Every structure is written in C-alpha cells, then in structure tokens.
Amino acid sequence: METIKYKNKILGMIVRNSFLEDGAHFFTSANSAFQVGMLIYPKEHNIKPHKHRELKVVREEPTQEVLYVKKGKVEVHFYVKGTKLFCKKVIKTGDLLILLSGAHGFKFLEKSHLIEVKEGPYSEKNKVYLKVKE
C-alpha cells in the first residue's frame, strides 16, 4: 500500500493489485468517514451474520471517494494549497485508489474502466473545478 501525504495530511492511498495479506486489513483510520479494507480468508472461513447500527454522523470535511481500476491505466494528479500540483501517480488494472482530502484530477493513459464509490448524498453542484498550476 502506498500513502500520499502532504505535510501531516493524507491526500490518498493506493492499494496495489499485488496486496495479498491474509486476514482483515483496513487501510483507512478508524475515524475516517470511509472505512476501506481488504478481507482475505481461506475456504470455509465464516463471518457471523450481523448488521450495522444506524449512526447519526455530522461532519464538515471533503467528500471522500474510492476508485477501483477494473481495467486500464490512469494517471492521478494530487493538488495541494488549492491548485498546486503535488505529485502524479499511475494506477492500473486491479489497483484501488482511496481519496481522502485535497484536490485531484485524472489523465486516462488508455481506455479504462473505473468503479467509483463516494459518500452520499452527492450532487454535481458539490464539485468545485479548479484552475490548476501544472
């Protein structure tokens, strides 16, 4: 797993397709709005039937999102201080991108299929487009 940090703030995480540790591994912190993890268990393993309690959560933080690259290759641009390019990372088939803070953009390096999950409710009017410095 690769963590993209600016100062003490985590902008995002990349879980590479090659990550294969047995058990339950959560990549985000316990107080993150998104709890993203990977479960790898052997045949016949059981998780007891359960449900999750309803939580009333009030937060003032950026919308977080997760992108899974089902197929393809995409360059991710991470921005800090509003519009300053901080770094670029390439994600490809089987990789998982967790975006927690800061701004970001994408350049598709080939035709790609992404599955996106983000907090809701969500509206396009919640998105702010930036004039960035490359």
94: domain CATH number? 2.60.120
- For the record, the structure tokens of 104 come out as 């970001």
Bridge partner residues of 27 (DSSP): none
Domain count, the chain: 1
Q: Would residue 70 count as lying in a domain?
A: yes
Q: Would residue 49 count as lying in a domain?
A: no
Q: Would residue 116 count as lying in a domain?
A: yes
Q: Would residue 85 count as lying in a domain?
A: yes
Kind of pairing, strands 65-71 and 9-15?
unpaired
Q: Would residue 87 count as lying in a domain?
A: yes
Residues 6+ apart with CB under 8 A from 6: 78, 80, 86, 102
Q: What pLDDT, in 10s, does the model give residues 20-57?
A: 999 999 998 888 878 899 999 999 999 999 988 887 77
Q: What sign does the CA torsion over 131, 133, 12, 76 have?
A: positive
pLDDT of the residue at 104: 94
Instruction: Report how far Cα 130 is from the mean position of its chain's Cα atoms.
Output: 20
pLDDT of the residue at 122: 63
Q: Would residue 132 count as lying in a domain?
A: no
Q: Which domain holds residue 91?
A: 2-42+54-126
Q: Which amino acid is at 78?
A: F
Torsion of CA 67, 107, 132, 130, to 10 degrees: -50
Q: Which residues of the chain have pLDDT under 50?
A: none
Cβ atoms of residues 113 and 128 within 8 Å: no
pLDDT of the residue at 134: 62
3-state SS, residue 8: coil
Q: Would residue 133 count as lying in a domain?
A: no
User: Measured between alpha carbons, how far is 46 from 8 in angstroms, rounded to an integer?
Assistant: 38
Kind of pairing, strands 73-80 and 65-71?
unpaired
Q: Would residue 32 count as lying in a domain?
A: yes
